[in-house]
Structure 1
């Protein structure tokens, strides 16, 4: 049921459709391999899940209110867990269509809103379970797929500039603030999404719109697989930016101790599983290096969470962020023996509750700050 809920993709952009359709064109060629055949069956199953989700949706769309200009197409629905969820398209800073989701409780005052920025190669639909835990505690949730990821436009796994993702994140935050004025907002980023959120929040005009940020396994002090990769990456990213560089791939490194979570991730057709593209890899190295040099510019309240056994990103770099950033309200939690995808570890609910508890603590502190300012 959880896997089906995560597949609530109603409107895929042309970029995402282009990523899925070729898979079926290659079925006849790959069917000779048992492993390929097994993966093909999973993809066919996912395809029919989407069809089943789409059919009832079309009937309901006729009664949906007109969408705002920044979301040219939108659809909404609800489930039996007291959650109303919506999908829409958001026009990015480079005029690319970005696929977005939101989850809200049916009733009750909102404590705040959390905006989710997913990690490299994944998409926002993977965070449905986390979103439902948040709304059960009266937090609203928005999420956005990067360019080249999930349901958004672009070549799969290709990010021409992470600065564009930072700008899209800022623009999406501004849109959310305009739709929900007066509701406190937090930004959440996982892995490379954490680096994006951290850089966005380092700008004063973005920081002033936020109550705080949450970072899980942020991509800080990222090192290439071999020193020569870092040396040639700037050149190759200009000459052959879309080239898939197998030597830089971290394929095979476990990211969760939950086998079911790993199977769900790597059988999801919207998760990119190919070798990293040269420009994308260079952009990760570039933003990571920038952040490591500029910890002193981080004054936003933050909570950083990291597994000590993470082999994808460096937990010691998260500790350095906590030690060096001059933020007055900051916290860190290191989970002994946990891996990279914290919200997909067996203890995911406890980790999500740690995030919720921190946001509530931050809102309480902000209330007292405002009360002291008033008197």
Structure 2
């Protein structure tokens, strides 16, 4: 298979390039690259000073106190400074909650049984609910079940970065027509779940929430075989979840589409400074990001639907989110040989967001007894939204049925 040119450190599902140090690549530094370097130096210097200062010296002072203020509650006192900080924190929490409520209303309105496609797909039952994760954050969930007949198994869908579970309603319809139940969960900061849109404080939290959600699904459906599905960064999450033995024992296998396994920053320096920026300014968005979305499907209608969806985050990637992607990708690339869960990895050779060669490397190195790979010639990143999505879905269903009879 030929090497594919992969865009560097994109925002995943929204496909927006994050060229933080793109201008530095020129032989002569431009004014823009000099400005970025100065900002980097200044931020690093401030962070270093804050780490050196004693805690008592880090409390900032405000304007001169009014005569009516008592000495014990003066604006320059530690207690007053804490109050200001709490006020700022409360404002941030209120802003996040407002953002969550707006998105949750949009998530509630998403059509659960979309029209179009194969008219032979059967009718299904569906539901929407909230699941409270390991940090007690409310996560928006969906489920679809066949209206009649025996249940072969359950597939739990973990979406990709910046998208949401509602985008997989048609895929769920395909699965229910083949007697599979489907659950899907929006990550923190995505879809109708808690958090600031597009902000992921830790992918380890997403991993833990996914494991807890699987436990809940197993309790609600005793004896029914379960599979985990993850797309893009969601594929990386699923792979890490399934690497835990107590989780692996609960699964028949995992399915990964276009998993984010080898993610490179826009410049080698980014890997060094990303941990610093993720602490100093974790929610910061890089305003210099390319505003053109990377094509993730060869179907123009699917591209338009994705980038016009208000629940799909299309802003520049946030610093902490980008750092978390680099971190989980690096961890997984070092851990391929320890993977033992049965898996099926699917990737398009024309993918410009994640690397199909990394999927091949996973297949080659993993210790799993049952493992399969399929590379689709010329397909783009969002396999389930390509013109051949019926074929891709059928390949996934066939693999699950094969595993149930293995």
Matching of residue 144 in structure 1 with residue 185 in structure 2:
yes
Q: In structure 2, how many angstroms separate the alpha carbons of the residues matched to 1:341 and 1:293? A: 25
Structure 2 counterpart of 1:99? 140
Cα shift readout 1:205-257 (whole Å, capped 9, x = no counterpart): 00000000000000001001222222211110010000012456684211000
Q: In structure 2, how many angstroms separate the alpha carbons of the residues matched to 1:286 and 1:128? A: 30
Q: In structure 2, how many angstroms separate the alpha carbons of the residues matched to 1:158 and 1:280? A: 6
Cα shift readout 1:279-299 (whole Å, capped 9, x = no counterpart): 000000000000000111110
Q: Say if 2:103 and 2:191, in contact at 8 Å, map to a contact too.
A: no
- Offset at 1:19? 4.9
Structure 2 counterpart of 1:178? 219
User: 372, 378, 385: which one pairs with 1:331?
Assistant: 372
Q: In structure 1, how many angstroms separate the alpha carbons of the residues matched to 2:162 and 2:276? A: 23
Q: Say if 1:14 and 1:153, in contact at 8 Å, map to a contact too.
A: no
Structure 1 counterpart of 2:294? 253
- Offset at 1:82? 1.4
- Unaligned runs of 5+ residues in structure 2 are 1-96, 113-120
Q: In structure 1, how many angstroms separate the alpha carbons of the residues matched to 2:386 and 2:202? A: 30
- 1:142 partner SS: strand
Closer, same or farther: CA 155–220 of 1 in aligned 2, 3 Å = same
Q: Say if 2:104 and 2:192, in contact at 8 Å, map to a contact too.
A: no
Closer, same or farther: CA 359–306 of 1 in aligned 2, 3 Å = same
Matching of residue 157 in structure 1 with residue 190 in structure 2:
no
Structure 2 counterpart of 1:212? 253
Closer, same or farther: CA 247–319 of 1 in aligned 2, 3 Å = farther
Structure 1 counterpart of 2:109? 50
Cα shift readout 1:165-217 (whole Å, capped 9, x = no counterpart): 00000000000000000000000000000000000000000000000000000
- TM-score normalised over the length of structure 2: 0.72
Q: Say if 1:197 and 1:213, in contact at 8 Å, map to a contact too.
A: yes
Greater C-alpha radius of gyration? 2
Structure 1 counterpart of 2:278? 237
Q: In structure 2, how many angstroms separate the alpha carbons of the residues matched to 1:272 and 1:196? A: 19
Q: In structure 1, how many angstroms separate the alpha carbons of the residues matched to 2:130 and 2:395? A: 31
Structure 2 counterpart of 1:73? none
- Offset at 1:50? 3.5
Q: In structure 1, how many angstroms separate the alpha carbons of the residues matched to 2:139 and 2:372? A: 32
- TM-score normalised over the length of structure 1: 0.77
Q: In structure 2, how many angstroms separate the alpha carbons of the residues matched to 1:251 and 1:161? A: 27
Matching of residue 289 in structure 1 with residue 330 in structure 2:
yes
Cα shift readout 1:336-366 (whole Å, capped 9, x = no counterpart): 000000000000010000000000001110x
Matching of residue 310 in structure 1 with residue 351 in structure 2:
yes
Structure 2 counterpart of 1:122? 163
- 2:344 partner SS: strand
Q: Say if 1:83 and 1:103, in contact at 8 Å, map to a contact too.
A: yes
Q: Which runs of 4+ in 1 moved over 6 A?
A: none
Q: Relative contact order: is structure 1 or structure 2 higher (C-alpha 8 Å, sep ≥ 6)?
A: 2
Cα shift readout 1:126-177 (whole Å, capped 9, x = no counterpart): 0000000000000000000000000001000000000000000000000000
Structure 2 counterpart of 1:26? none
Structure 1 counterpart of 2:60? none
Structure 2 counterpart of 1:24? none
- Offset at 1:119? 0.1
Q: In structure 1, how many angstroms separate the alpha carbons of the residues matched to 2:291 and 2:372? A: 29
Closer, same or farther: CA 207–17 of 1 in aligned 2, 3 Å = same
- Offset at 1:106? 1.1
User: 17, 20, 34: which one pairs with 2:101?
Assistant: 17
Aligned-residue CA RMSD (Å): 2.1
- Unaligned runs of 5+ residues in structure 1 are 1-12, 22-45, 55-79, 366-375
Q: In structure 2, how many angstroms separate the alpha carbons of the residues matched to 1:163 and 1:298? A: 18
Q: Say if 2:104 and 2:191, in contact at 8 Å, map to a contact too.
A: no
Structure 2 counterpart of 1:133? 174
Structure 1 counterpart of 2:92? none
- 1:127 partner SS: helix
Closer, same or farther: CA 217–246 of 1 in aligned 2, 3 Å = farther
- Offset at 1:107? 1.0
Q: How many residues align?
A: 302
Closer, same or farther: CA 124–87 of 1 in aligned 2, 3 Å = same
Q: In structure 2, how many angstroms separate the alpha carbons of the residues matched to 1:281 and 1:116? A: 22
